[in-house]
Amino acid sequence: MIVNLEILCIGNELLIGKIKDTNAHYLATKATQLGVNVNRVTVIQDIVEEIAKTILECVERKPQFIVTTGGLGPTFDDKTLQGIAQALNCPLEVNAQALEMVKQRCEEYAAKRHMQTQIELTASRVKMATLPKGTQPVNNPLGSAPGVHVNFGGTILFALPGVPAEMEAIFAESIAPLFKVVVGGNVFCERSLFVDGVTESHLVPLVDKVMMDNVGVYVKSHPMRSEGKPYLEIHLTMRATQEQKPVEKLRKAAKELAVLIEASGGRIQAES
């Protein structure tokens, strides 16, 4: 069974180029390696209505998972929880478990820095624990803002902080194990050929033949440059069960493609 994931990155800073969106890259890489199919990455502004509308659009496509990043913090522009509440058509309310998580993280932060550990639950701190009704907080091992989890009409949504280290920690602790269970025996395998002496356009019929001869193998060429010299990375991938022997199938496809490339005058520099 193919397990689909949509990634939704929220933040004006991403859209104006102030911050590079490394979160989407991390999530796509890790999810793919776990055998999950990432079929869409969307970046939107910190606008409640836009967040709600986009979540509903994602849910309509019925992926098994949606993961959002950004907008869970204490500041005025952190609006993801409001957007989720609007999409769910439910109110926001202070979640006791989330509030305890926020308090504990703040106390830990203060203790490490030899500051006063008597923490005041200010409005901005309470904001991070004010969740859409019916959602569940997710432990954040590194930061104050908990993640959020909800089953949205059969689609499981996780909302994660935008701070990369915190997002990655929550993913590793709470989401990756779930992905492994849901994916079951499916795996993602990849293999690369590094080639020179041949152009991308010349490769087209060779790639077409290999993909026809090796059903389920996807081949994509990537122009590269090293020390001023151009070359191509040809990336072969396959998502399948272990019983379908994807490693062997990729090896066979790569060997066939290498033979075709060399016969047409190209050179295989390396393989990985």
Q: What are the tens digits of pLDDT across the range 39-98?
A: 999 999 999 999 999 999 999 999 999 999 999 999 999 999 999 999 999 999 999 999
Asked whether the beta carbons of 238 and 215 are under 8 A apart, the reply is no
Asked whether the beta carbons of 103 and 119 are under 8 A apart, the reply is yes
Query: Within this chain, do residues 73 and 149 fall inside the same structural domain, yes or no?
Result: yes
Mean of the per-residue pLDDT values of the chain: 95
Domain termination residue (choose one: 183, 214, 239): 183
DSSP string computed for 199-265: -HHHHHHHHHHHHHHSTT-EEEEEEEEETTEEEEEEEEEEEEEGGG-HHHHHHHHHHHHHHHHHHTT
Average pLDDT for 234-258: 95
List the CATH number of the domain containing 90.
3.40.980.10
Domain termination residue (choose one: 162, 183, 204): 183
Nearest to 121 by CA among 96, 142, 143: 96
List the CATH number of the domain containing 259.
3.30.70.1130
Q: Is the Cα torsion angle 86, 88, 89, 94 positive or negative in sign? A: negative
The one-letter code for the residue type at 221 is: S
Q: Domain residues for 153?
A: 4-183
Predicted model pTM? 0.91
Query: Within this chain, do residues 145 and 244 fall inside the same structural domain, yes or no?
Result: no
Domain termination residue (choose one: 150, 183, 216): 183
pLDDT at 20 over 90: yes
The one-letter code for the residue type at 69 is: T
Residue in this structure with the two tokens 């986009």, named with its chain if needed: 54
**How many distinct structural domains can be found in the chain?**
2
Average pLDDT for 135-157: 96
pLDDT single digits (tens) 96-117: 999 999 999 888 877 777 777 6
